[in-house]
Structure 1
Amino acid sequence: MKSSRILPAYVGIYIVFLYLPVALIPLFSFNDAIQAAFPLKGVTLSWYRTLLETPAIGQALINSLIIATAAAAISTLCATTISYLDVFPRPVLSRLVSGLARMPILIPGVIVGIALLILVNLAGLGPSRPAIVMGHVLVCLPAAVTVIRARFVAIPQSLAEAASDLGASDWTVFRRAILPLAGSAIASAFTLAFLTSFDEFIVAYFLSGTEPTLPLYIWSQLRFPKSLPVVMALGTLILLASVILATLAEVLRRRSRI
């Protein structure tokens, strides 16, 4: 009896501890004061107007959108190829490649950032937008491989075998038989990869040049107390977009299981 009461209480405390600080960001973004403190002095939309009138924020947003789109597209393409080869044809070393693709999720972001910084400097690329895209592909690949591979595993092997017996090539089997059944999972993986890249900070911190992403811009503004309300307004919009994208990714993932 006690355990049945303890578990809901634990879950409730955990949810409050996790999400209450996040809920305060939208609340204070409408506060008519620079300090984030109670009691609230009034309701205002001036911080959102300032947000729209700041060119640096728009440029950082464009950088993040370009990087996130490129990283999501590349990582989803790589994840689809890796997962398909691991589940269906299974050539030599396919399982090893699939495992390596998921391994970066176990490596601390600081280590990944330092390693990639050394690599891009040795390659002559230096900190730049392409360097961030490369780093984000590495960060996004594990989630994309996990989602797509799970869907490929759920597709009956007999489907690909039957298509091969009828004379279809590997490409035809993939394009005509497997891909239509995995479309929702691939779209879900792309959405998750986009969201991961858009919100990623540590790798971008090491690899950014003169064109910061949106999380880096927010970090740079935290040093100035007067910029805090605008940062909270920006954080509210990012939070809203993240919730929408995460919900979309989950809906697509659930559809792929049907």
Structure 2
Amino acid sequence: MLRAYALLFLAFLYAPILLLPVFAFNDGTVIAFPLGGFTTEWFARLGTKAELQSALGNSLIVAACASAGSVILGLMAARAGVRYRFPGRAGMLGLIVLPIVLPEIIVAVALLIVAVQVLDIALALWLLIAAHVLICTPFAVAILNASFHALDPAIEEAAIDLGETRASTFLRITLPLVMPGIVAAALISFTISLDEFIIAFFLTGSETTLPVYIWSLLRFPKELPVIMALGTLLVIASVAILSLAEWNRRRGLRRAGAEDHGGFL
């Protein structure tokens, strides 16, 4: 029964996604069955849309900066949470991961009010980057926590006993050992930022990101096949990034000699 439930759940979750390439290669402009002939016209149109290329460039910039910022903050938080004991530690770690459970629309409205009405800041990409760092950092902390837990503290102690300073031990011993976790956290954060819509919808000004641009195309029914083609490429890219992140996670566990209990989250 559990196996049957899991199969039904996965089919319900992924069947709509599997329909993307079906309609992306269909030459009909109506997203419905029966299908027409085979075509690659919709993929070719993606290269002719300047607005799409601009939105994609903005999304890549935001995702790259957000992933770098969230990994740096997540690395410091995970390191402090795993290796040190201090007053308020549990509460601080709880507040760090709080954005995971908060509704994104609440976070988006709050950030919009603070930025526009309280601080009088104009909407720009750097503001969206800061917001994406906020929502990506908890995921980076979760992944890096596992990496630091899998690392034997005796390795760092041995390096210090052999003459290394704490700083050189972290740079030459700890950092290389948790590098697979860092790469996995960066890839996951990049994917989350690239796909995020609600906060981007509220905080982008004239420079839109790719999810916001896709939303704007939904007003034009004739553009739906182009959206299907774009969605197909995004799904392929997301699966590739997540697969690479999972491979890095498993490689890190093998290097640390830790037991693998499942996925990276």
TM-score, normalization by structure 2: 0.91
Render the CA deviation track for 1:18-69: whole Å, top value 9, x for unaligned: 1111111111011111111111111111111111111110000000000000
Look up the match of 2:57: 62
Report which stretch shifted further, 66-75 or 80-89.
80-89
Unmatched 5+ stretches in structure 2: 255-265
Give the Cα–Cα distance (whole angstroms) in 2 for the partners of residues 31 and 141 of structure 1: 40
Look up the match of 1:202: 198
1:128 matches 2:120? no
Count of aligned residue pairs for this structure pair:
253
Q: Match of 2:102, as an amino acid?
A: I
Q: 1:91 offset after TM fit, Å?
A: 4.8
Report which stretch shifted further, 207-216 or 172-181.
172-181
Equivalence map 1:71-86=2 (5 Å): 71-86=66-81
Report which stretch shifted further, 154-163 or 36-45.
154-163
Look up the match of 2:257: none
Give the Cα–Cα distance (whole angstroms) in 2 for the partners of residues 238 and 149 of structure 1: 29
Equivalence map 1:15-164=2 (5 Å): 15-121=10-116, 122-164=118-160
Q: 1:123 offset after TM fit, Å?
A: 2.7
Look up the match of 2:262: none
Give the Cα–Cα distance (whole angstroms) in 1 for the partners of residues 86 and 18 of structure 2: 49
Q: 1:168 offset after TM fit, Å?
A: 3.3
Render the CA deviation track for 1:115-137: whole Å, top value 9, x for unaligned: 11122223332321011101100
1:182 matches 2:165? no
Render the CA deviation track for 1:68-111: whole Å, top value 9, x for unaligned: 00000000011011111222244554544333221110111011
Q: Match of 1:255, as an amino acid?
A: R
Q: 1:162 offset after TM fit, Å?
A: 3.0
Report which stretch shifted further, 90-99 or 66-75.
90-99
Give the Cα–Cα distance (whole angstroms) in 1 for the partners of residues 94 and 148 of structure 2: 16
Q: Match of 2:55, as an amino acid?
A: A
1:239 matches 2:229? no
Q: Match of 2:182, as an amino acid?
A: I
Unmatched 5+ stretches in structure 1: 1-5
TM-score, normalization by structure 1: 0.93
Matched-pair contact (CA < 8 Å) for 1:82–1:94: no
Report which stretch shifted further, 99-108 or 57-66.
99-108
